[in-house]
Amino acid sequence: MSTSTTPTTANLLRQQKREQRRQLSSSQQIQHAKRLAERLLNHNAFNHSQRIAAYLANDGEIDPVYIIEQAWNLGKQIYLPVLSAHENSLLFAPYEKDSLLCRNQFGIDEPDCLPEHWLKAEHMDLILLPLVAFDEKGNRMGMGGGFYDRSLANIRRPQQLTQLIGLAHEIQKTDQMVIQSWDIPLHVIATEDRLYQI
Ligand SMILES: Nc1ncnc2c1ncn2[C@@H]1O[C@H](COP(=O)(O)OP(=O)(O)OP(=O)(O)O)[C@@H](O)[C@H]1O
Ligand SMILES: [Mg+2]
Protein backbone atom coordinates (compact mmCIF):
# COMPACT_ATOMS: atom_id res chain seq x y z
CA MET A 1 0.00 0.00 0.00
CA SER A 2 1.19 3.47 -0.81
CA THR A 3 -0.46 6.13 1.32
CA SER A 4 0.99 8.96 -0.76
CA THR A 5 -0.52 7.65 -3.97
CA THR A 6 -2.91 10.12 -5.58
CA PRO A 7 -6.20 9.33 -7.35
CA THR A 8 -4.40 10.09 -10.63
CA THR A 9 -1.99 7.26 -9.90
CA ALA A 10 -4.97 4.99 -9.25
CA ASN A 11 -6.53 5.96 -12.57
CA LEU A 12 -3.29 5.29 -14.37
CA LEU A 13 -3.00 1.85 -12.79
CA ARG A 14 -6.62 1.15 -13.74
CA GLN A 15 -5.98 2.15 -17.36
CA GLN A 16 -2.79 0.08 -17.61
CA LYS A 17 -4.36 -3.04 -16.15
CA ARG A 18 -7.46 -2.74 -18.36
CA GLU A 19 -5.24 -2.36 -21.42
CA GLN A 20 -3.12 -5.40 -20.46
CA ARG A 21 -6.09 -7.71 -20.05
CA ARG A 22 -7.69 -6.49 -23.29
CA GLN A 23 -4.49 -7.43 -25.13
CA LEU A 24 -4.75 -11.11 -24.23
CA SER A 25 -5.57 -13.19 -27.30
CA SER A 26 -8.79 -15.17 -27.46
CA SER A 27 -6.86 -18.45 -27.12
CA GLN A 28 -5.11 -17.11 -23.99
CA GLN A 29 -8.49 -16.02 -22.65
CA ILE A 30 -9.94 -19.51 -23.15
CA GLN A 31 -6.90 -21.18 -21.61
CA HIS A 32 -7.02 -18.87 -18.57
CA ALA A 33 -10.76 -19.39 -18.14
CA LYS A 34 -10.33 -23.20 -18.20
CA ARG A 35 -7.43 -23.20 -15.76
CA LEU A 36 -9.32 -20.86 -13.45
CA ALA A 37 -12.33 -23.18 -13.50
CA GLU A 38 -10.22 -26.28 -12.67
CA ARG A 39 -8.80 -24.48 -9.67
CA LEU A 40 -12.03 -23.03 -8.39
CA LEU A 41 -14.20 -26.13 -8.87
CA ASN A 42 -12.00 -27.91 -6.30
CA HIS A 43 -12.36 -25.13 -3.75
CA ASN A 44 -14.47 -25.64 -0.62
CA ALA A 45 -16.13 -22.26 -1.05
CA PHE A 46 -17.50 -23.40 -4.41
CA ASN A 47 -18.47 -26.89 -3.27
CA HIS A 48 -20.26 -25.63 -0.14
CA SER A 49 -22.16 -22.85 -1.91
CA GLN A 50 -25.62 -23.15 -3.41
CA ARG A 51 -26.30 -19.52 -4.43
CA ILE A 52 -23.38 -18.23 -6.45
CA ALA A 53 -23.10 -14.78 -8.01
CA ALA A 54 -20.90 -14.55 -11.11
CA TYR A 55 -20.71 -12.15 -14.06
CA LEU A 56 -20.60 -12.09 -17.86
CA ALA A 57 -17.03 -11.30 -18.92
CA ASN A 58 -16.47 -7.88 -20.47
CA ASP A 59 -13.42 -5.70 -21.33
CA GLY A 60 -10.93 -8.62 -21.19
CA GLU A 61 -12.10 -9.91 -17.78
CA ILE A 62 -11.29 -13.54 -17.07
CA ASP A 63 -14.36 -15.52 -18.06
CA PRO A 64 -16.24 -17.54 -15.39
CA VAL A 65 -18.28 -19.37 -18.08
CA TYR A 66 -16.89 -22.86 -17.27
CA ILE A 67 -17.54 -22.32 -13.57
CA ILE A 68 -21.11 -21.27 -14.34
CA GLU A 69 -21.72 -24.34 -16.54
CA GLN A 70 -20.41 -26.70 -13.89
CA ALA A 71 -22.48 -24.98 -11.21
CA TRP A 72 -25.62 -25.52 -13.32
CA ASN A 73 -24.67 -29.19 -13.84
CA LEU A 74 -24.41 -29.57 -10.06
CA GLY A 75 -27.84 -27.99 -9.50
CA LYS A 76 -26.50 -24.79 -7.96
CA GLN A 77 -28.17 -21.42 -8.58
CA ILE A 78 -26.25 -18.79 -10.50
CA TYR A 79 -26.99 -15.07 -10.20
CA LEU A 80 -25.72 -12.11 -12.22
CA PRO A 81 -25.35 -8.52 -11.03
CA VAL A 82 -28.07 -6.09 -12.06
CA LEU A 83 -27.82 -2.34 -11.66
CA SER A 84 -30.33 -1.09 -9.19
CA ALA A 85 -30.75 2.51 -10.36
CA HIS A 86 -32.68 3.28 -7.20
CA GLU A 87 -29.80 2.43 -4.84
CA ASN A 88 -26.98 3.03 -7.33
CA SER A 89 -25.65 -0.40 -6.39
CA LEU A 90 -25.87 -4.02 -7.50
CA LEU A 91 -28.49 -6.63 -6.78
CA PHE A 92 -28.32 -10.21 -8.05
CA ALA A 93 -30.78 -11.74 -10.52
CA PRO A 94 -31.21 -15.48 -11.15
CA TYR A 95 -29.48 -16.68 -14.31
CA GLU A 96 -30.44 -19.94 -15.99
CA LYS A 97 -29.42 -21.57 -19.29
CA ASP A 98 -32.47 -20.18 -21.04
CA SER A 99 -32.63 -16.78 -19.31
CA LEU A 100 -33.37 -13.82 -21.57
CA LEU A 101 -30.88 -10.99 -21.26
CA CYS A 102 -31.19 -7.24 -21.73
CA ARG A 103 -28.55 -4.51 -21.94
CA ASN A 104 -28.04 -2.06 -19.07
CA GLN A 105 -26.87 1.56 -19.34
CA PHE A 106 -23.20 0.45 -19.43
CA GLY A 107 -23.85 -1.93 -22.33
CA ILE A 108 -23.58 -5.02 -20.08
CA ASP A 109 -26.16 -7.81 -20.36
CA GLU A 110 -28.37 -8.56 -17.38
CA PRO A 111 -31.08 -11.20 -16.84
CA ASP A 112 -34.36 -9.75 -18.03
CA CYS A 113 -36.47 -10.61 -15.00
CA LEU A 114 -38.68 -8.73 -12.58
CA PRO A 115 -37.00 -6.78 -9.75
CA GLU A 116 -38.99 -8.85 -7.24
CA HIS A 117 -36.63 -11.75 -8.06
CA TRP A 118 -33.49 -9.74 -7.34
CA LEU A 119 -31.54 -10.57 -4.17
CA LYS A 120 -29.08 -8.60 -2.07
CA ALA A 121 -25.40 -9.52 -1.90
CA GLU A 122 -25.75 -10.84 1.65
CA HIS A 123 -28.17 -13.54 0.39
CA MET A 124 -25.45 -15.06 -1.79
CA ASP A 125 -23.26 -17.87 -0.39
CA LEU A 126 -20.43 -16.96 -2.74
CA ILE A 127 -19.76 -13.94 -4.95
CA LEU A 128 -17.25 -14.23 -7.79
CA LEU A 129 -16.12 -10.68 -8.54
CA PRO A 130 -14.47 -9.31 -11.64
CA LEU A 131 -11.62 -6.91 -10.96
CA VAL A 132 -9.13 -4.68 -12.74
CA ALA A 133 -6.21 -5.02 -10.30
CA PHE A 134 -5.50 -6.87 -7.03
CA ASP A 135 -2.71 -7.35 -4.53
CA GLU A 136 -1.63 -10.30 -2.38
CA LYS A 137 -3.45 -8.86 0.64
CA GLY A 138 -6.84 -9.24 -1.06
CA ASN A 139 -7.30 -5.60 -2.01
CA ARG A 140 -9.34 -5.10 -5.15
CA MET A 141 -9.61 -2.34 -7.70
CA GLY A 142 -12.70 -2.39 -9.92
CA MET A 143 -13.79 -0.30 -12.87
CA GLY A 144 -14.11 2.81 -10.70
CA GLY A 145 -17.88 3.08 -10.23
CA GLY A 146 -17.91 1.86 -6.64
CA PHE A 147 -20.84 -0.43 -7.46
CA TYR A 148 -19.43 -3.57 -5.87
CA ASP A 149 -18.11 -1.59 -2.89
CA ARG A 150 -21.54 -0.10 -2.16
CA SER A 151 -23.32 -3.41 -2.70
CA LEU A 152 -20.94 -5.31 -0.40
CA ALA A 153 -20.81 -2.75 2.39
CA ASN A 154 -22.99 -5.02 4.63
CA ILE A 155 -20.73 -8.00 4.07
CA ARG A 156 -18.14 -6.38 6.33
CA ARG A 157 -20.21 -7.43 9.34
CA PRO A 158 -18.59 -10.32 11.24
CA GLN A 159 -21.78 -12.44 11.17
CA GLN A 160 -21.88 -12.34 7.37
CA LEU A 161 -20.84 -15.63 5.80
CA THR A 162 -20.87 -14.65 2.13
CA GLN A 163 -17.53 -15.64 0.59
CA LEU A 164 -15.94 -13.13 -1.77
CA ILE A 165 -13.62 -14.52 -4.43
CA GLY A 166 -12.01 -12.20 -6.97
CA LEU A 167 -11.30 -13.71 -10.40
CA ALA A 168 -8.37 -12.34 -12.37
CA HIS A 169 -5.61 -12.95 -14.85
CA GLU A 170 -2.24 -13.18 -13.09
CA ILE A 171 -1.12 -10.03 -15.01
CA GLN A 172 -3.64 -8.01 -12.99
CA LYS A 173 -1.56 -8.40 -9.82
CA THR A 174 0.15 -5.25 -8.55
CA ASP A 175 2.08 -4.00 -5.52
CA GLN A 176 0.95 -0.41 -6.23
CA MET A 177 -2.61 -0.70 -4.96
CA VAL A 178 -4.36 2.40 -3.69
CA ILE A 179 -6.67 1.43 -0.83
CA GLN A 180 -9.64 3.54 0.24
CA SER A 181 -11.75 3.23 3.38
CA TRP A 182 -14.78 1.98 1.39
CA ASP A 183 -12.91 -0.76 -0.50
CA ILE A 184 -14.09 -4.23 0.49
CA PRO A 185 -11.22 -6.74 0.75
CA LEU A 186 -11.64 -10.22 -0.75
CA HIS A 187 -11.30 -13.60 0.99
CA VAL A 188 -9.62 -15.31 -1.95
CA ILE A 189 -8.28 -14.28 -5.35
CA ALA A 190 -8.13 -16.95 -8.04
CA THR A 191 -6.10 -16.63 -11.23
CA GLU A 192 -5.16 -19.07 -13.99
CA ASP A 193 -1.92 -19.78 -12.08
CA ARG A 194 -2.79 -19.88 -8.41
CA LEU A 195 -5.07 -19.15 -5.48
CA TYR A 196 -4.32 -16.33 -3.08
CA GLN A 197 -5.94 -17.25 0.26
CA ILE A 198 -6.12 -14.09 2.31
N1 LIG B 1 -19.98 2.11 0.63
C2 LIG B 1 -19.95 3.23 -0.12
N3 LIG B 1 -20.79 4.26 0.16
C4 LIG B 1 -20.78 5.37 -0.59
N5 LIG B 1 -19.97 5.58 -1.64
C6 LIG B 1 -19.11 4.62 -1.98
C7 LIG B 1 -19.06 3.39 -1.24
N8 LIG B 1 -18.14 2.61 -1.81
C9 LIG B 1 -17.64 3.33 -2.86
N10 LIG B 1 -18.21 4.52 -2.96
C11 LIG B 1 -17.89 5.57 -3.95
O12 LIG B 1 -17.61 4.96 -5.21
C13 LIG B 1 -16.52 5.64 -5.83
C14 LIG B 1 -15.66 4.67 -6.63
O15 LIG B 1 -15.07 3.73 -5.75
P16 LIG B 1 -13.79 2.88 -6.20
O17 LIG B 1 -12.82 3.76 -6.89
O18 LIG B 1 -13.34 2.07 -5.02
O19 LIG B 1 -14.46 1.93 -7.31
P20 LIG B 1 -14.06 0.43 -7.69
O21 LIG B 1 -13.83 -0.41 -6.47
O22 LIG B 1 -12.94 0.50 -8.64
O23 LIG B 1 -15.36 0.01 -8.46
P24 LIG B 1 -16.39 -1.17 -8.20
O25 LIG B 1 -16.69 -1.27 -6.73
O26 LIG B 1 -17.60 -0.79 -9.00
O27 LIG B 1 -15.75 -2.41 -8.71
C28 LIG B 1 -15.74 6.30 -4.71
O29 LIG B 1 -15.35 7.58 -5.12
C30 LIG B 1 -16.66 6.35 -3.53
O31 LIG B 1 -17.04 7.67 -3.24
MG1 LIG C 1 -13.18 0.03 -4.70
pLDDT in tens, 5-25: 566 889 999 999 999 999 999
Question: Does ligand 1 lie within 6 Å of residue 55's CB atom?
Answer: no
Check: pTM over 0.85? Answer yes or no: yes
186 vs 159, more confident: 186
Identify whether 1 is part of a domain.
no
Q: With beta carbons less than 8 A apart as the criterion, state whether 67 and 141 touch.
A: no
Question: Which alpha helices (DSSP H) does 54-169 contain, by range?
Answer: 65-73, 147-151
**Confidence band (pLDDT; 50, 70, 90) for 108?**
confident
Flag whether 2 is in a domain.
no
C-beta 183 within 6 A of ligand 1: yes
Across the strands, what pairs with 103?
109
Q: How confident is the model at residue 62 (pLDDT cuts 50, 70, 90)?
A: very high
pLDDT at position 2: 45
Distance 170 CA to ligand 2 centre (A): 19
Question: Is there a domain that residue 165 lies in?
Answer: yes
Indicate whether residue 185 lines ligand 1 (CB < 6 A).
no
Give dist(CA 34, CA 55) in Å, integer. Answer: 16
Residue 139 lies in a domain: yes
pLDDT, one tens digit per residue, over 135-165 is 999 999 999 999 999 999 878 766 678 999 9
Residue 148 lies in a domain: yes
Decide: 94 and 51 in contact? Cβ < 8 Å.
Answer: no
Output the CA 182–ligand 2 centroid distance in Å.
Answer: 7
Indicate if the pLDDT at residue 86 is higher than 60.
Answer: yes
Spatial contact of 189 and 128, defined as CB atoms under 8 Å apart:
no
Encode pLDDT of 23-58 as tens digits: 999 999 999 999 999 999 999 999 999 999 999 999
Is 88 near ligand 1, meaning CB less than 6 Å away? no
Please give the residue range of the domain that contains residue 102: 7-197
Give domain status of residue 35, yes or no. Answer: yes
Name the closest-CA residue to atom 27, ligand 1. Answer: 142
* pLDDT band at residue 1 under the 50/70/90 scheme: very low
CA pair distance 83, 3, nearest whole angstrom: 31
CATH of the domain at 167: 3.40.50.10420
Q: DSSP letter at 63?
A: P
Q: Determine if ligand 1 sits within 6 Å of the CB of residue 182.
A: yes
Mean pLDDT, residues 111-117 taken together = 87
The response to whether residue 125 sits with its C-beta less than 6 Å from ligand 1 reads: no
Q: How many domains does the chain have?
A: 1
pLDDT exceeds 60 at position 195 = yes
- Supply the pLDDT for residue 3: 47
Please identify, by atom number, the ligand 1 atom nearest to the C-alpha of residue 143.
22
Asked whether the predicted pLDDT for residue 91 surpasses 70, the reply is yes
DSSP E strand stretches across 7-70:
51-53
pLDDT value for 126: 97
